[in-house]
């Protein structure tokens, strides 16, 4: 063995890292945080759902918004109950299953307005919702303009020809209003509206107004027949005259007066009709 050298061998010892705790003190597992975060989100969602359900219950299922009062304004010919009872019936109808329209937020006022217009033929209807429990109905009735007669029945009508069925024609009104009688073989009422040209009504109103200026031309009733552009008029003196709706009513009425005074005079009972429809010519039909 050479001098100066140790007789012991040096061996390198491998370090055993497996027995060491090599965990990073600055690194921790996220599993616990994930669980806490998931629970927090769940509680948050549940809380939101509870709030939403509470709001929905308060709006649609609690008695807070239940309709308790219906006010009707503008009626003069019908009792208010005729309108309010129809609206109370609608409150029992379903709006959004299984919720009913008794809740003021779910009440379909547009549908109610259409229903009332269809059944009562008012000129205008406006329904207002007043929180928390009231409905207000503002109504404009169609004014009576004349009485329409056909098939033995009498109906009120407005100036545009809309039939008004909310009242039965009284005997007194037959002397107060213009009476127009349908002498055609078919009904001229369709969907509560008269199937006659507005030109006829315009002429009749104008002739009625002109006739009231002279006692000799007082009119009893107007007759609508199948004859084109013709309105027949029964005068209170017993004469029957044919008028042309295309011609001036005042001019034809003047011709009627001339014929009555100069031709017929007191012989009314011998005259069947006076035809004024052909310009300056006048035809007298004798019995």
251 shares its domain with 271:
yes
78 shares its domain with 181:
no
135 shares its domain with 260:
no
Number of domains composing the chain: 2
**pLDDT of 24:** 53
75 shares its domain with 185:
no
In a domain, 57, yes or no: no
In a domain, 208, yes or no: yes
Which CATH number belongs to the domain containing residue 104 in this structure? 3.10.20.310
SS (H, E, C) the chain: CCCCCCCCCCCCCCCCHHHCCCCCCCCCCCHHHHHHHHHHHHHHHHHHHHHHHHHHHHHHCCHHHECCEEEEECCCCCCHHHHHHHHHHHHCCEEECCEECCECCCCCHHHHHHHHHHHHCCCEEEEEEECCCEEEEEEECCCCCEEEEECCEEEEECCCCEEECCCCCCCCHHHHCEEEEECCCCCCEECCEECCCHHHHHHHHHHHHHHCCCHHHCEEEEEECCCCCEEEEEECCCCEEEEECCCCHHHHHHHHHHHHHHHHCCCHHHEEEEEEEECCEEEEEEC
Q: How confident is the prediction along the chain (287 residues), in pLDDT tens digits per residue?
A: 455 555 545 555 555 545 555 555 554 555 556 666 776 777 778 778 877 776 665 556 678 899 999 999 999 988 999 999 999 999 999 877 778 999 999 999 999 999 999 888 889 999 999 988 999 999 999 999 999 999 999 999 999 999 998 889 999 999 999 999 999 999 999 989 999 999 999 999 999 999 999 989 999 999 999 999 999 999 999 999 999 999 999 999 999 999 999 999 989 999 999 999 999 999 999 98
188 shares its domain with 214:
yes
In a domain, 101, yes or no: yes
91 shares its domain with 167:
no
**pLDDT of 70:** 97
Cβ atoms within 10 Å, residue 152: 5
**pLDDT of 15:** 54
94 shares its domain with 123:
yes
In a domain, 120, yes or no: yes
**Domain finish residue from 120, 140, 160:** 140
Domain span holding position 87 = 63-140
130 shares its domain with 256:
no
163 shares its domain with 280:
yes
**pLDDT of 40:** 72
Which CATH number belongs to the domain containing residue 234 in this structure? 3.40.50
In a domain, 5, yes or no: no
pTM of the model: 0.70
In a domain, 186, yes or no: yes
Task: Let me know: does 149 contact 182? Beta carbons within 8 Å.
Answer: yes
119 shares its domain with 165:
no
In a domain, 157, yes or no: yes
**Domain finish residue from 97, 122, 140:** 140
In a domain, 58, yes or no: no
**Domain finish residue from 114, 140, 166:** 140
129 shares its domain with 165:
no
Cβ atoms within 10 Å, residue 54: 11
100 shares its domain with 150:
no
């Amino acid at each position: 063995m050479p001098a100066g050298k140790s007789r012991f061998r040096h061996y390198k010892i491998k370090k055993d890292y497996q027995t060491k705790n090599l965990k990073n003190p600055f690194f921790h597992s996220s599993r616990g945080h994930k669980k806490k975060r998931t629970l927090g989100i769940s509680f948050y969602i549940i809380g939101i759902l509870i709030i939403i359900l509470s709001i929905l219950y308060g709006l649609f299922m609690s008695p807070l918004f239940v309709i308790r009062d219906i006010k009707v304004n503008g009626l003069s010919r019908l009792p208010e109950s005729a309108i309010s009872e129809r609206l109370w019936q609608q409150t029992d109808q379903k709006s959004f299953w299984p919720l009913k329209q008794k809740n003021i937020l779910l009440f379909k006022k547009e549908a109610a307005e259409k229903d009332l217009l269809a059944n009562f033929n008012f000129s205008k209807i406006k329904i207002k919702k007043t929180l928390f429990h009231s409905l207000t109905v503002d109504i404009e009735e169609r004014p009576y303009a004349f009485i329409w007669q056909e098939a033995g029945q009498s109906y009120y009508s407005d100036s545009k020809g809309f039939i008004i069925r909310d009242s039965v024609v009284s005997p007194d009104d037959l002397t107060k209003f213009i009476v127009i009688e349908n002498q055609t073989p078919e009904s001229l009422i369709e969907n509560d509206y008269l199937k006659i040209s507005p030109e006829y009504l315009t002429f009749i109103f104008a002739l009625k107004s002109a006739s009231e200026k002279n006692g000799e031309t007082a009119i009893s009733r107007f007759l609508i027949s199948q004859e084109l552009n013709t309105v027949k008029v029964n005068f209170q003196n017993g004469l029957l005259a044919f008028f042309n709706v295309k011609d001036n009513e005042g001019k034809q009425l003047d011709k009627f007066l001339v014929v009555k005074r100069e031709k017929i005079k007191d012989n009314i009972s011998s005259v069947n009709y006076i035809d004024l429809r052909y310009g300056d010519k006048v035809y007298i039909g004798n019995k």
